[in-house]
Structure 1
Amino acid sequence: MERKWWHDKVAYQIYPKSFLDTNGDGIGDLRGIISKLDYLKSLGIDIIWLSPIYKSPFVDQGYDISDYYAIAEEFGTMEEFDELLAEAKKRDMHIIMDLVINHCSDKHEWFQKALKDPDGEYADYFYFRKGKNGNPPSNYRSYFGGSCWEKVPGTDKYYLHMFAKEQPDLNWENEKLRQKLYEMINWWLDKGLSGFRIDAIINIKKNLDFPDFEPDAEDGLAACYKMVESAEGVGELLEELKNNTFKKYDAFTVGEVFNMKPEELPEFIGENGHFSTIFDFCAQCLSDGEHGWYDAPEIDFDTWRKAILGSQLETEKYGFKANIIENHDEPRGASRFLPKHAQNPAGIKMLGTVSVLLRGIPFIYQGQEIGMQNAKWNSIDEYDDISTKDQYKAALAAGLSKEQALAACGRMSRDNARTPMQWSDEANAGFTTAKPWLKVNENYKAINVAAQEKDPSSVLNYYRRLVALRKSDEYKELFTYGRCVPAYEDTDGIMAYYREDENKRVLVVANFGSKEAQIRLDGSVKKVLLSNTNDAEKSTVSVGASELKLESCEVLVVLVK
């Protein structure tokens, strides 16, 4: 494998709106991010991914971009963004931005021009299609509910939007549009950006026949991703995108890729793949409900373990995936992947260890490093997220009570990950001096950065040790390029794997069960590298031991002879 500058890096996702507000308007800003670069450096972060900060009406929290060349005034100015780039560079850190090019905002200049002349040049930047027999062109349900087709005012045409109606899909078959997108991407890379996280990118290739599909719910519609799955040739578009932009700059790219055909993995992340890496969503997909959040299954430990380890073995053949526990589109991992008895600091450290030491590029989401959890939501009115409101309606339509629908949203809503970052036990968790745009999780007095900074055994300080181990001179090579070999797969409640190369063999072993577990080693303990219950130096595990005793929620990282 050709070695790349990003292979041994650790990334951190910032959701700017919820990170830190410095001007007292209740919304996080670029100045807040700049002020916390040293905090992120102390955590061992190399790459910072910013969720969208472009000019936007914020129908979908900035994923509806009205000007790709402007910073939203809610976040600050272009001068402040340039300062952020410069300050990150001083600390040997890289900034990547969200790239949202499947769709734009209906307030974007291109779409406004298309509406003024629905038969003109700009209409072909989008998918304007005539309806059928007084109905939309096809029966697709958007990701946020309702038809994917919206009437173009004053015409017999509709435009396609796979997300909200305010997010019209861009027509990637139009070469002129593609060139404009490439120019924009290169403009940001010329500024000094190190790359992009690429949003919903598989959706850019449509089946241009827009065929109807068998309805899959009472509304008579079919999920729009079925059309995406029926389309061929997305790889050609992705290669053109890469060759016209990222490749010229040796940029780091991480794709948000769903609905990929399994055999296409090497094309996406292989030696000359479309992207540097793609996110591994194998665990997150385990709670996909058949019809929505209201019938989302609970995460089963055995299924979760099998999914993670299976994905590791599959990915290793071709390249790296980006490993996550949570992100801005998912509920908090501590509340989702840990059994009830493990939803405590020890369990949170255990989950973090298993994720960060996997083969691949670790992405830590803001607040994960202090163990932030799902909030308690008392009413649908407390949510801001368009998707959550749609899922609440879907649950009610399916016959659930308001309490049941609210409980489903409380478990699965992405607003759980968007509550403000908990910096201290001061008002509003130290996030803002004003009313925050989204409510603060009420547990902020117990879970916050300031308290954990002072506690050597806190989740935060454990994460620092964990990341430091991964990046240490002695073990960086192993944790970056070493194989991942599943272990103890038949042992109840145990998640374990070896990271090994020609020189070293390290066992990562975690007890997700509620009782003590005994593990017989294949070999013996040479050194304890990390423990979530003791300092490694004070570990009760003796050198030369051929057996390990693990308390419930205990994880050990052990160099094995």
Structure 2
Amino acid sequence: MIFVTVTNQWWQKAVVYQVYPRSFQDSNGDGIGDLPGITSRLDYIKQLGADVIWLNPIYRSPGVDNGYDISDYYDINPEFGTMADFETLLANAHQRGLKIMMDIVVNHSSNQNKWFTESAKSKDNPYSDYYIWRDPVDGHAPNNWGGFFGGSVWEYVESRQQYYMHSFAVEQPDLNWENPKLRQAVYDMMNFWVDKGVDGFRLDVINLISKPTSFADGQPNNGEPFADVGDIIANGPRLSEYLQEMHQQVFAGHDLITVGETPSATVADAKQSAGLTTNELNMVFEFEHMGLDGNPAPELGKWNDQPVKLVDLKQSLTKWQTGLHGSAWNSLYWNNHDQPRIVSRFGNDTAKYREVSAKMLATLLHGLQGTPYVYEGEELGMTSAHFKQLSDYQDLESLNAYHHFVDDEQRVTADTMLTYLAKMSRDNARTPMQWNTSAQAGFTTGQPWLQVNPNYTTINAAQATADNASTFAYYQQLIKLRHTVPVITTGDYQLLDADDDAVYAYLRTDGPTKLLVIANFTDQTQTRHYDALADGAKRLIGNYEDDAADTLRPYEAKMYLMEK
């Protein structure tokens, strides 16, 4: 193994703040967040201490999958504003020392993209091979692959008398990366944004772009009619080749931050895709720790209402910390636009424990090696919405799952599925940002596209930024430590007491310097002693005002620095 120094890249000490534009700040009263709204809140992000803003897709889109179906890669979604609005946002961010990372989707496009509308016309036009087309087999779909959103991945088009592949919604046809002209068109488009001055890319489901050489049937699970396409196409045979080509064509010569979303990736996959010397991506998002609270019944996937087991969480995070150290780079996250709010999921969102458990989870994550990502509202301890009825939801995945498991398969009752949605739906992350106590939480003067969580009167940015003991203030401290304490970036990782099902403790070490992180995941007082806690240890941060030595109060977390 090649072991390299990991402290010489700016993005290794950076903290990324994720903005879901639709839900961040509306400037014109139409109920939808927009680019001028984001620009108006840049000082808030700067106050937090973040270095990079990751924008979820802002391109022109029909909105079938909330912008992850792009109809024009070179234009801005009119709901969010204009190209001039984007340029203003970019310039204002740069003036504040904030970088902008664009979210790009190049596994698939919208079926309204010119590339696809042309491709669908015939087999002999310039765009004919920009997508994955296959002939019928015995009058039916080419194989039994099933998509991420349910149903077959194949859709028939009469004009070509062929099927096209869509791993996600039928309106999201997969691009054909085997075609060098398509790849060059993608690189040209990415360079358009680099030339505008963007500082990096988050690449959606990027490890799905290289499809298998064979389109043979897969093995369905648990009596399902379709084989899971994710298991079949992830980390395909030419993925590394394509990413290295992308690096050469787009990233090389620019000091960019790049992160790939990589469902089903293993540590070995990440060592290649995010290797410190492989010339592919800076880091990847893995999902193992986000799947630990899935349903014990495999056919129900993530839909469940049970808590994560701490021992399982330790095992997963430890595998990635030790597996990538010295050879690749971790991305660190609890929340994003696809995950329910972490304080409701792994913490305790009751009034008594919400803030202390939010701070505990933050301490644990921000002490690890990697680049931390903070999702809008996470720094406030925003909670999941816990919607009560199906009509409250807008997320395509949630609605499809309900109809599939309740109406079609009758695997669960309507009440049970609503309980699962309240716990796991992506809409839990997408409720509007809670700015203040005014109507609609200060997000909009109109009717918001998705209802505001009613707890905004007690959880909001105005109150948090005025309170030195708030979750926001705590995140400020953690980010400052990331910037100023080298062992957080450089140190190796050692899990302590792997079988402890109540407390998560780990040690980071770089030469004579050690960092000890301790987190109580329960609402009970625990007593623990750690030999690693040497005399003269300095408590860098903790979510209780005082330090009770070996006593850990409910959801208590603390971080100690030991230097010889």
Aligned to 1:133: 138
Secondary structure of 1:558 counterpart = strand
Return the match for 1:283 from 269, 289, 292. Answer: 289
Aligned to 1:351: 361
Secondary structure of 1:249 counterpart = coil
Matches within 5 A, 1:59-78: 59-78=64-83
Secondary structure of 2:10 counterpart = coil
| CA distance in structure 2 between the aligned counterparts of 1:239 and 1:114, rounded to whole angstroms | 27
| CA distance in structure 2 between the aligned counterparts of 1:363 and 1:340, rounded to whole angstroms | 21
Aligned to 2:473: 461
Q: Structure 1, residues 40-64: CA drift from partner, whole Å, max 9, x if none? A: 1111100110000000000000000
Tell me: CA distance 1:296–1:424, structure 2 relative to 1, closer, same or farther (3 Å).
closer
Aligned to 2:435: 423
Tell me: CA distance 1:460–1:147, structure 2 relative to 1, closer, same or farther (3 Å).
same
Paired AA for residue 134 in structure 1:
G
Secondary structure of 1:509 counterpart = strand
Provide structure 1 residue ranges, at least 5 long, that are not aligned to the other structure: 542-546
Return the match for 2:497 from 471, 483, 488. Answer: 488
Q: Structure 1, residues 496-554: CA drift from partner, whole Å, max 9, x if none? A: 112221242121111113322223232224322111111xxxx345xxxxx52211111
* 1:400 and 2:412 correspond: yes
| CA distance in structure 1 between the aligned counterparts of 2:544 and 2:143, rounded to whole angstroms | 57
8 Å contact from structure 1 (residues 391, 409) kept in 2 = no
Deviation at 1:217, TM superposition (A): 4.9
Count of paired positions: 549
Secondary structure of 1:467 counterpart = helix
* 1:169 and 2:180 correspond: no
Aligned to 1:382: 392
Paired AA for residue 119 in structure 2:
A
Return the match for 1:519 from 518, 523, 528. Answer: 528
* 1:311 and 2:316 correspond: no
Q: Structure 1-normalised TM-score? A: 0.94
Q: Structure 1, residues 229-267: CA drift from partner, whole Å, max 9, x if none? A: 484221111111111111231321001012335433321
| CA distance in structure 2 between the aligned counterparts of 1:296 and 1:372, rounded to whole angstroms | 19
Paired AA for residue 373 in structure 1:
T
Secondary structure of 1:497 counterpart = strand
Aligned to 1:7: 12
Return the match for 1:101 from 90, 98, 106. Answer: 106
Deviation at 1:414, TM superposition (A): 0.6
| CA distance in structure 2 between the aligned counterparts of 1:35 and 1:328, rounded to whole angstroms | 21
More moved, 376-385 vs 30-39:
376-385
Provide structure 2 residue ranges, at least 5 long, that are not aligned to the other structure: none
Aligned to 1:544: none
Secondary structure of 2:252 counterpart = helix
Aligned to 1:531: 542
More moved, 110-119 vs 168-177:
110-119
8 Å contact from structure 2 (residues 441, 452) kept in 1 = yes
Q: Structure 2-normalised TM-score? A: 0.94
Matches within 5 A, 1:40-439: 40-229=45-234, 231-273=236-278, 274-289=280-295, 290-291=298-299, 292-294=301-303, 298-338=307-347, 343-396=353-406, 397-439=409-451
More moved, 304-313 vs 363-372:
304-313
Secondary structure of 1:287 counterpart = coil
8 Å contact from structure 1 (residues 10, 46) kept in 2 = yes
8 Å contact from structure 2 (residues 15, 372) kept in 1 = yes
| CA distance in structure 2 between the aligned counterparts of 1:55 and 1:120, rounded to whole angstroms | 24
8 Å contact from structure 1 (residues 293, 391) kept in 2 = no
Root-mean-square deviation (CA, aligned residues, Å) is 1.8
Sequence identity (%): 39
8 Å contact from structure 1 (residues 508, 557) kept in 2 = yes
Paired AA for residue 210 in structure 1:
F
| CA distance in structure 2 between the aligned counterparts of 1:427 and 1:33, rounded to whole angstroms | 19
8 Å contact from structure 1 (residues 335, 343) kept in 2 = no
